[in-house]
Every structure is written in structure tokens, then in C-alpha cells.
Amino acid sequence: MSTTFQLDTATSRANPTPAPMKRLTVPAIRRRKKDGVTADPIVMLTAYTARQAQLLDEHCDLLLVGDSLGQVIYGLPSSVPVTLEMMIAHGAAVVRGSYHAAVIVDMPFGTYEQSPQQAFENAARLLKETGCAGVKLEGGVAMAETVRFLNERGIPVMGHIGLTPQAVNVLGGYNARGRSDAEAAKIVADAKALDDAGAFSIVIEGVVEPIAIAATQAIACPSIGIGGSAQCDGQVLVTEDMLGMFERVPRFVKRYADMASLVSQAAANYAAEVRDRSFPGIEQTYQPK
């Protein structure tokens, strides 16, 4: 039994409690793929808060504290303005709210590209201040040296290739990648370079399906698809997209719920009862004894 911080749903407070099982580890995730086959596909969703992590934890192998929190939580136009401090605060919350899934935290733009030394300093801070199991960074061949540097110094790294949101200004948008022969070859080469450098898994995002399959087959570590292929070794979605919290539905997203309508209707019901003074009722007020 390990000890972690669990949310007491009666008080909404996090308290140290015995965890019913040990967390999944990075090596355990890596071993899911054996001889090029992942018999048990890897399930990953994003999480940004302790309560969200608590609800998702039992269903997931990995929880990703993605820099997508820039748009989802903070209303920023992209992930580029996200800071290390934001990632640390939300990463620590997700670790506190989970006990089963391995928690991976995105390294935000500008915290790892300059040099392997810069990447190590910031990645080490993420691990120490959040308790996460590893970090994720974007880029292929160009980042292989950094991935190797971190891995050799005890920091597990998840790679991210294809459509890399932090590079949206260079890519010119969020269009699918791999449509040209040159771009397809680069994606496969990026996957191989990260695999050789020691990445324990690689996110393949927004890549035309045959190239996502080719990249998956070219590497020994598991691939995690998002807008890739069901033949990737696992899948990830932004939880708010999967829950239907936004009107826009990207092509690669399947809505499993319509939470936006539920929240809006609940707020409308509350507002109506406040305005007609039916809330609070006797059940919600303190009466003289």
C-alpha cells in the first residue's frame, strides 16, 4: 500500500490516505508494448484539477496535465503563453487527486528548447514540485538529444510529434500533418529518433492514418494517438472535448457526453429558483431549535 493525497468528497479537502494500490509506473507503461504489439491499449486523458483527476483515475493508465489548460482553463488563444508555474500548480493538484494512473506533465513552450541543461533544470523542478511520473515535450529529431539527456539523468520523457501545438506559429495552423511524402518521412524519422533516445512513449497527433500506423510500427515504445489511428498503442483526448464542454468538435474527437448542456441547464434552474425565492428552502436553511 502506498500513501497519497485523496479528496474527501464530504469536505472537498485533500488528506493523506492509504492508496488501495500502487501507481502504474513508466516502465510498466513501456512494457505494454512487446515485440511490436500492445495487447492492452493504453488509456490516457487530460486532467487539470484534483477532483477531475479523482473521477478519471480509475479508468486511465495515464493522466496528462496538458498545456492545453491554457485554452481549456485560462481562455488563452493557444498553449504558447502557458508558464511553468501554471503546469506545476495543476500538476500537483492532479497528483493529489489520483492514486492509480501515472501522471505526466507537459513542459510548456520556452522551458526546454534552448538546451538539454535548461530542459533538465525545468523538468527536475516539475518532478520535485508536483510528484509526477514524467514529463512530455514536443519535437522529434531536434529534441532527441534533450530526451536522451533527461532520460539518462532519471527523468522519464514522453515525446510528441506530428501536429505539435506549441509550434502552431511555424506550422501555420492546426491542420493534419503527413500529407506530403517529405512530411510523412519526417514524422516517421522523428518517431524513431525519440524512441532511440529513450522516450518511454510518443504522442502522435493530427497525422494522416497510414503515417500514424507506420510511425507506430517503426518504434519499440508505445505510441499514443490523438487524431492518429486506432492501431496506435493507446489513445488520448482532452477530457473537456470528450465530455462535450465546447461547441466545436475537432474531427478526431468523439463526444461521450454533453456536459455543457447539463451545466447550463443546472445553472438556469438555480437562477430561476433564486429569482422566484424558492431557493433556499427549508432544507437548505438553519431553523431555530
Distance CA 219, CA 216 (A): 6
67 is in an annotated binding site: yes
Beta-sheet pairing, 234-237 with 42-46: parallel
Based on the residue annotation, tell me whether 283 is a catalytic residue of this protein.
no
Helices in the chain by DSSP H: which ranges?
Answer: 26-30, 50-56, 69-72, 84-96, 116-130, 144-152, 168-171, 181-197, 209-218, 239-242, 259-275
Measured CA to CA in angstroms, residue 64 lies from 44, 152, 215, 232, 283 at distances of 7, 22, 21, 17, 40
| Phi, psi of 62, deg, nearest 5 | -130, 140
User: From the candidates 205, 240, 273, 283, which is the catalytic residue?
Assistant: 205
78 is in an annotated binding site: no
Helix axes 209-218, 181-197, angle to 10 degrees: 30
289 is in an annotated binding site: no
Q: Which three cell numbers stand for residue 28?
A: 510498466
One-letter identity of residue 79 = S
273 is in an annotated binding site: no
136 is in an annotated binding site: yes
Q: Which residues contact 69 (CB under 8 A, 6 or more apart)?
A: 46, 48, 82, 86, 87, 90
The annotation places the binding site for Mg(2+) at 67, 106, 138
Q: Catalytic site residues?
A: 205
The annotation places the binding site at 67-68, 106, 136, 138
The annotation places the binding site for 3-methyl-2-oxobutanoate at 67-68, 106, 136
